[in-house]
Structure 1
Amino acid sequence: MADPSPLAPRPTWPIAALLVVATVAAYASVWRCDFVSLDDPTYVTDNPLVAQGLTWQGVAGAFTTGHAANYHPLTWLSHMVDVELYGLRPAGHHLTNLLLHLASTLLLFAFLARTTQAPWASGVVAALFALHPTHVESVAWIAERKDCLSTLFAMATIWAYRGYCLHPSARRAAGVGLWFTGGLLAKPMVVSLPLLLWLLDYWPLRRPLGWRRVGEKLPLFALAAASCVVTFLAQQSGGAVQDLRIPLAPRLANAVVAYVRYLGELLWPVKLSVLYPHPYITGTPWSRATVVGCALLLLALTALAIALRRRRHLLVGWGWYLVSMVPVIGVVQVGVQAMADRYTYLPFIGLFLAIVWEGRALCARLGRGRWLGGAATVAVLGLLTLLTARQVGAWRDSTTLYERSLAATPESWALHNNLGNAYSRAGNYDGAIREFSTILDHAGHFLTLMGEHREEAHYNLALAYQEQGDLGQAIAHYQQAIALNPANLDAQSNLGLVYLRQGKVEQARQQLEWVVRVQPGYPAGLYNLAEVYRAAGEDERAARLYERFLRLRNDYPPAVAHLAASYEKLGLLAEATAAYRRAALLDPTDPATQAALRRLQPLATP
């Protein structure tokens, strides 16, 4: 081993300080980023398991449920701690992600500096990890806490493994297993870590290889196998596994191409997107020539690394990349993406190692290589810092994220849908209609394959037209959504409400009575039918439905206020006054409620 003592021969704290300063500078604007609508509600803001903070019920649920089609209890616990500390203010959650990213950066640097005795080269590898723009997705996306947390556990595992290699003992081996278990419970992508440790045995630890090295890692392989089984079951039960929708041949083809596309992102990290749609879903599968060309390139690079195996960093770095990418390369397809920037978070470390150490060797062979290498390193890191800072800005809010992502992947129906929803929430209904119409106008293979999204596009388009006041278009698209899925009660109920807004009270009544008959406990159906009865002057029937609705949703101010108005028309002044008071507590700013209270107060019986 190159690390005979626990202390490096030269001080490394100045390099560590530079790493911290550069990383904080690159991510300075992350404090101003909001939660985004993609997965953040599922993981944090709308997740009852997390939104209550750290509770015994939440802790138990974290270990016993597969929420969000994943089993990563330590990630859930970390989100709960954040809510306990910061509430639902996003800046604090971003701070935690950044601190985890910094901790992984420093552990990676410390491990390499101690084992290679090359602190500056180690610092460059750590800086590339800290500052590469593809890693912004893992750090700036609150829902990707699992990336930052699992990688920190992976770095801690590697650090503990170094200690075990220096002074083997059962206690140190148990420590390695404990850190590895933590990584698996944060995100199971680290299942490849036992193989990565075997690669590190070859370099930089320089331990003699053999079956003994494999045998000592068998407990880690067993933990990894158990994690794979649990993860597959959780993702399959959560509907995340898309194997049945995407045949094996397109999955294998995309996996080969994705390995090469990631290399392109490594070298030219621009036009990044939060979602790169799978070519099979967009109806544009990879050509045979593309797949064969990528396969030949991968084989050539692998053969080169083997041929130059005396340069151990090349074989280890390339092997690290190939092995650590396997869990997310898409042979087992999870989701609809062809690749994802967040998947590079751990695998790119291997490529950084290979590039930096090969560049170091080249500079050593050149006369003024040290100065040229230093200048090139500063220029590259400076450029990456600027690109990363710009990419962090893409995560400012949902609208910015989807607009920037669509500029890179305009063929993504999911991004058009998400941007349309973001526009709708912001009141930009023209923009929403444009995005939802784009999906339907380009209804190609992916909508044939996944027909529920055609229904979703019609429904969202109807909502936007309804809010805009174009009721005819709203009705047309609600009807198309219903034709695709008659069980869509949201569309059925909203259609009745649009009829009411058109003054077609009888049509609205028939539509909504059908909805309530089919699903008596459906809150929107109850409320909308109550609105129809109230508009028809049938206040007794309206009041009964408002009461049923409020037993399901007791915090909706308009329902309470409208119930009070029905009570008032029925002459139930005491009940009306009590309901108006309740409505005023829920919404103190409603002038109609305040006026009704002033009118009824002298008349109501005490």
Structure 2
Amino acid sequence: MKRLKLRIYLLFFVLALILIFSYRDSFKVPFQYDDLRRIAFNPEISYLDPLKIFTIYPARAITQISYSTNLSLWGFSPFGFHLVNLFFHFLNGILFYLLIAKLTDGDSRLSLLSSAIFLLHPVNVESVTYISGRAGVLSNFFLLLGLIFFMRMIGDENLISKNTILPLIFFLLASFSKESGFAFPFFLLLFFIFYEKNKIGKLKKYSPYFLLWLFLILSYLFINPNILSGKEEHNLTTHFLSHIDASLKYLRLLLFPINLNIDHYLPLKRIPDLESLITLIIILGFIILAFRNKNPSEVKFFSGWYIVSFIPVIAVPLNDVLSERWLYTASMAYSFLFASFIIYLMNIFKERKDMVRFFFLETLIVFIIVFFSIDLQKRNFIWLDSLSLWQDAAKKSPLKARPLINLGTALLENYELDKAAQCFKKVIQIKSDSVEAYLNLGLINILKRDYGNAYRLFKKAESINPKDANVHMNLGNFFRDTGDFQKAVAEYKKAIALDDTLNDAYGNLGIVYSRIGKMREAEEELKKAAMLDVFREKWKCRLALFYIENGMIGKAENLVEKLASKFPQKAKVHNLLGIFYGKKGDLMRAQEEFSKAFLLSPSNINYLVNKALTLKKMGKFEESLNCFFLAERHQPNMPDILYNIGEIFY
């Protein structure tokens, strides 16, 4: 027995090493997509205050508290978030092993293989690498703990003990991590149905607990009354029909985890058709096959687990129909059933002494683990930056607007204006009322100094949604850049009236006030923008620049030091440091900071131009020319660059 335990510990240690190796790139993945809104730019979780967080986010309070704890321990570094996600994923693998061992009378081989398939399955990358996927990982952690303690509770005659109270606590923790935790009672029913001989008697005995769970579910729905209400175009009937079609695609992703995608395209199904009927027949066939009397209890239990895992997804109408992170719980059932099939065949071949096929299956297991590990690495590599992530998504979902919007935004951040414009134009072809696409196209036209087209696009966005704060903010930017400051102020104030948390509106209003000489008002608005922009450096840098430009060196120095300490890897901060040192006359340090800024963000030519101008002031004309020529190659015909090149020559 001791040797067996030691062997299991050793195998889990090896599995942990494979997992860390396969997910090693995930530690370098930045905040992506919803991570920015939920974590990076969310002032509500900047300080660890569980009661306040529970009040603001009652639906997923535990997950939000975990994010806040992360921020308290590791600050804004995504590394700490990824470490926690992977750690809980590994713990889930161990708990899954313990659950199967309990259900199969200690079959360590089946338990270990199931756990390995689950831990290394590439479909779970979205749950583990995507920081916002933590909700599902945490919920399943508490779900597994609750099930394991519930099985202990069954043998406890005392209705009030740690074995009976702990499952309730874990149920609550699972449910307030993610809505899928409310499937917990259904998993318990599966256990009663397939493992308990005296089903009715046991159900009667523990009926108070089921009634309490029902009460807790109803209380949760009372706290979150809109959770079951569907949109007009995405109601419960549409959602159910669409998920019927999605069910085969989910199975395909588990069986053949290729073409994984952060944003799958699956049109909504409003009316049942032949495809829906065929899918329903396949589902019924699976149910009949899975729940045959001769099947072992654990096979029936995990077949039921697979079906039950989709109840929360089907019951709650969401914006999407298919998402890989919704497969996290279902992937456990799949891992067990697949491992059971492999072990079943191996046992048959061993009994028949067909060692060729037996060793073939052993080789197949190794191949699957290696394939999964390679696939995990490829998938994590794609997640390394937003550009590669959304290029991948747009390629695989060319008829869906959201991947193209996000790809266009990533290209715009890299100053690839023409490619970004192509993406936003495709979005309008797919979704003609996309305000975001029109606004971004307008911004691109401003950057190209095509103000006529920019104004037309902004007004088109306003005609679609006149109550969108971002529309008025962009109109404000247009009027600011074209010198109509009075109209710019009016538009910024409209934006703030519609959304008083829109930091960019305050900041841009501050810039306009500074241009028209209202310095006190400018400082006030820039301070508001910096205060609202809790996790970013953008408006803090702009406030510091305001102080520098207006000779408030003391205030500037204090803010610059804080920014350098808080954001050491941000290009904007180093650019600001360069401007600050230049103002103080320390040109050597100024050009060093501009160099750091350009190295951190080589797509931003302004940092290179700033370095070139500083070198020119220092009399290092040859080095300055080299910088200007490099800038000109990136952005030809830019007047400022051409003027300075000409001035140095002549």
Shorter-normalised TM-score: what interval? 0.7 to 0.9
Q: 1:386 & 1:416 partners in 2: Cα distance?
A: 27
Conserved 8 A contact 2:46-2:71: yes
Aligned partner letter, 1:333? P
- Say if 1:302 and 1:496 are closer, same or farther in 2 by CA, change over 3 A: closer
The residue aligned with 1:181 is 172
The aligned counterpart of 1:137 is 126
Equivalent of residue 494 in structure 1, options 432, 457, 474: 474
- Rounded Cα–Cα distance in structure 2 between residues aligned with 1:370 and 1:202: 34
Cα distance between partner residues in 2 of 1:514 and 1:379: 61
After TM superposition, give the deviation of residue 120 of structure 1 in Å: 0.9
CA contact (8 A) 1:260 1:294 kept: yes
Counterpart position of 1:582:
555
Counterpart for residue 486 of structure 2: 509
Contact 2:513–2:521, Cα closer than 8 Å, also in 1: no
Distance 1:430 1:110, change over 3 A: same
Q: 1:544 Cα deviation (Å)? A: 5.4
Q: Name which of 52, 69, 92 aligns with 1:104.
A: 92
Map residues 285-434 of structure 1 onto 2, 5 A cutoff: 288-329=273-314, 331-334=315-318, 336-366=319-349, 367=352, 368=354, 370-434=358-422
- Are 1:45 and 2:40 matched, yes or no? yes
**Who is 2:21 aligned against?**
25
| Greater Cα shift, 474-483 or 366-375 | 366-375
2: distance between equivalents of 1:260 and 1:526?
A: 49
* Deviation digits for residues 330-358 of structure 1 (CA, Å, limit 9, x no counterpart): x4312x21111111111222222223223
CA distance in 1, matches of 2:117, 2:295: 24
| Cα 1:552–1:384 shift into 2, 3 Å | closer
- Give the direction of change, closer, same or farther, for the CA distance of 1:363–1:415 in structure 2 (3 Å limit): same
Q: Distance in 2 between matches of 1:151 and 1:61?
A: 24
The whole-number CA distance in structure 1 between the counterparts of 2:320 and 2:228 is 11
- CA distance change for structure 1 residues 301 and 215 in 2, over 3 Å: closer, same or farther? same
**Alpha-carbon contact 1:492-1:511 (below 8 Å) kept:** no
1:485 counterpart = 2:465: yes
1:563 and 1:92 mapped to 2: Cα distance? 34
Which residue of 2 is the match for residue 570 of structure 1?
none
Is the alpha carbon distance of 1:98 and 1:544 closer, same or farther for their aligned partners in structure 2, counting shifts above 3 Å?
closer
Amino acid aligned to 2:445: Y
Mapped to 2, the partners of 1:491 and 1:512 lie a distance apart of 14
Note the C-alpha offset of 1:511.
Answer: 5.2
Select between 417-426 and 584-593 the one with higher mean Cα deviation. Answer: 584-593
Do the aligned residues in 1 keep the contact of 2:475 with 2:491 (CA within 8 Å)?
no
Structure 2 residue identity aligned to 1:86: W
> Taking structure 1 as reference, are residues 90 and 195 closer, same or farther at Cα in structure 2, changes over 3 Å only?
same
Task: Write the distance in 1 (CA, Å) between the matches of 2:505 and 2:66.
Answer: 38
Match of 1:15 in 2: 11
In structure 1, the residue corresponding to 2:309 is in which secondary structure?
Answer: helix
**CA spacing shift, 1:516–1:195, aligned 2, 3 Å:** closer
Partner of 1:549: 525
Q: Cα gap change, 1:375/1:87 in structure 2, threshold over 3 Å: closer, same or farther? A: same
Deviation at 1:543, TM superposition (A): 3.4
Moved more, 105-114 or 291-300: 105-114
Query: Match for 1:344: what amino acid?
Result: L
Matched, 1:199 2:190: yes
Quote how far apart the aligned CAs of 1:223 are.
5.1
Distance 1:384 1:247 in 2: 37
Distance of 1:153 and 1:414 partners within structure 2 = 33
Q: 1:180 to 1:315 in 2, by over 3 A?
A: same
Task: Sort the Cα spacing of 1:226 and 1:290 in 2 relative to 1 into closer, same or farther, 3 A.
Answer: same
Equivalents in 2 of 1:289, 1:48: separation in Å? 49
RMSD: 3.3
8 A contact 1:71–1:230 mirrored in 2: no
Query: Structure 1 stretch 97-106 or stretch 13-22: which is displaced more?
Result: 13-22
Please give the per-residue CA displacement for 1:22-61, whole angstroms capped at 9, x wherever unaligned: 322221222221111x111232211223223x3xxx2111
Cα distance, 1:513–1:355 mapped onto 2, change above 3 Å = closer
Superposition TM-score, scaled by structure 1 size: 0.81
Q: Which moved more, 1:427-436 or 1:507-516?
A: 507-516
Q: Distance in 1 between matches of 2:79 and 2:548?
A: 41
Structure 1 SS opposite 2:187: helix
Q: Secondary structure at the match of 2:383?
A: coil
What are the Cα deviations for residues 381-412 of structure 1, in whole angstroms up to 9, with x where unaligned?
22122212221222212222222222222222
CA spacing shift, 1:408–1:216, aligned 2, 3 Å? farther
Change (3 A) 1:35 1:230: farther
Contact 1:558 1:583 in 2 (8 A): no
Taking structure 2 as the reference length, what is the TM-score of the superposition?
0.76
Cα shift at 1:469: 3.4
Q: Kindly, what percent of the aligned residue pairs are identical?
A: 19
CA distance in 2, matches of 1:233, 1:432: 44
**Structure 1 residue 460: Cα displacement:** 1.9
Q: Is the 8 A contact 1:258 1:339 kept in 2?
A: yes
The equivalences for 1:108-127 within 5 A come to 108-116=96-104, 117-127=106-116
Deviation at 1:517, TM superposition (A): 7.5
The one-letter code sitting in structure 2 at the alignment partner of 1:147 is G
Letter paired with 1:243: K
**Aligned partners of 1:524 and 1:159: how far apart in 2?**
50
Residues 376 and 512 (structure 1), Cα distance of their counterparts in 2 relative to 1, 3 Å cut: same
Between the aligned partners of 1:59 and 1:401, the Cα distance in structure 2 is 33
What CA deviation, in whole Å up to 9, does each residue of 1:406-461 have, x standing for no partner? 22222221111122222223333333222211101223xxx5xxx4xx11211122
Which 10-residue stretch deviates more, 382-391 or 546-555?
546-555
Superposed, 1:434-583 pairs within 5 Å as 434-443=422-431, 451=433, 454-502=434-482, 505=483, 507-510=484-487, 512-513=489-490, 516=493, 539=517, 542-543=518-519, 545-550=521-526, 552-553=528-529, 556=540, 558=542, 577=551, 579=552, 581-583=554-556
Q: Structure 1 residues 308, 24: CA separation in 2 closer, same or farther (over 3 Å shift)? A: farther
* d(CA) in 2 for partners of 1:426, 1:518: 27
Cα pair distance change 1:108/1:458, threshold 3 Å: same
Q: Cα distance 1:20–1:305, how it changes in 2: closer, same or farther (>3 A)?
A: same
Pairs aligned (count):
552
Uncovered stretches (5+) of structure 2, i.e. residues with no partner: 531-538, 562-575, 586-650
Q: Which amino acid aligns with 2:438?
A: H
Is residue 97–residue 140 contact of structure 1 (8 Å, CA) maintained in 2? yes
Residue 244 of structure 1 aligns to a residue whose secondary structure is: coil
Q: Tell me: CA distance 1:361–1:252, structure 2 relative to 1, closer, same or farther (3 Å).
A: same
Unaligned runs of 5+ in 1: 566-575, 599-606
Which residue pairs with 1:573 in the alignment? Answer: none
Does the CA-based 8 Å contact 2:121-2:372 persist in structure 1? yes
Instruction: Supply the AA of the counterpart residue of 2:281.
Output: L
Look up the SS of the partner of 2:59 in the other structure: coil
**Structure-2 change in CA distance of 1:563 and 1:258 (3 Å):** same
How many angstroms does 1:208 deviate by? 1.0
Inter-partner Cα distance in structure 1 for 2:513 and 2:75? 41
Please give the alpha-carbon distance, in whole angstroms, between the structure 2 residues aligned to 1:428 and 1:227.
51
